[in-house]
Amino acid sequence: MRYAENILGTIGNTPLVKLNKLTSDLPCLVLAKYETFNPGNSVKDRMALQMIEDAEAAGLLKPGGTIVEATSGNTGMGLALAATIKGYRLICVISDKQSVEKIDILKAMGSEVHVCPTNVEPSDPRSYYATAKRLAKETPNAWYVNQYDNPSNTKAHYLSTGPEIWEQTDGKITHFVVGVGTGGTISGVGKFLKEKNPDIKVWGVDTYGSVFKKYHETGVFDENEIYPYITEGIGEDILPENVDFDIIDGFVKVTDKDAAIYTRRLAREEAMFLGNSAGAAIKGLLQLKEHFTKDDVVVVLFHDHGSRYVGKMFNDDWMREKGFLD
């Protein structure tokens, strides 16, 4: 008989799926690393489990303890899976720009959820970064995950996602494209792939209102680049330690409107019901068309599931309200 001992045993080994209609104008083969097959429906399950296991091994997370994290939703879901199986309490701090579905899902999984304003500085005590740190200090026997600077985030993708992509493409991958938020996925996968073949190009997808692209190109952290944006899961107003800019060959920016529209197009043209960052990722890949040749194998990673965005990108009224739909 084949079965997992618990739900955590089903994390990883997600499939590669060929894109057809949206990439028909490209000369290359485009494959999606389809991370919604993880039990929490996102790529974040990988690093959530890795961070918890490493914290246990280091004695930072003790039996019966409380896990505290600032999350845009998906890391919280991955942490919730592990917390339930391992017997920990979980406190998630989330910003008010995230979908209602994400908040409801975290609550459904038994997490305590605190919602904070988006449009404040990271150093503001009301920000979700500052609130998570405060709650971790105030809560007895608590461990603050800090996915942005926790090296176990990158480690998870170096140990699992990168090797899977290499093996699934028989080492023929030439480009890796992925949205960048905490930086763990692009840095871990990129490090592994470049160790196998230094010629592989690693591209990050960024959003307008985020600092990544300009910082990568100029080394300047420009606060004038920062403003509120709608796209979820990618971009930052800080520089997480997990973003290894030396591994990244370049960034491409995608507008909120294009990210939303291409999220819907993935569902209707490729039957891929995915989250907002997937729309940004595929649009970013299409904007990189000039970099691809007929012999290239391009892998784009799709982070999470469309069920998190039913009230947003998949809602016509919401799309019209934002000016994304005529």
CA distance 174 to 9: 30
Look up residue 287 and give its two tokens: 């904007």
| Beta bridge partners of residue 301, listed in sequence order | 33
Q: Of 299, 323, 308, 64, which is closest to residue 161 (Cα–Cα)?
A: 299
Distance in angstroms (rounded) separating the CA atoms of residues 156 and 183: 12
- Order of strands, edge to edge, in the sheet holding 112-116? 112-116, 89-95, 66-70, 142-144
Q: For residue 39, what are the CA distances in angstroms to 43, 44, 78, 117?
A: 10, 10, 8, 29
The catalytically annotated residue of 18, 21, 44, 137 is 44
Bridge pairing between strands 29-34 and 16-18: antiparallel
Residues facing 92 on adjacent strands = 69, 113
44 is annotated as an active-site residue: yes
3-state secondary structure of 134: helix
DSSP string, 141-182: TEEE--TTT-HHHHHHIIIIIHHHHHHHTTT---EEEEE-SS
Q: How far apart are CA 292 and CA 226, in angstroms?
A: 31
The DSSP H or E segment spanning 202 is strand 201-207
- Give catalytic residue positions: 44
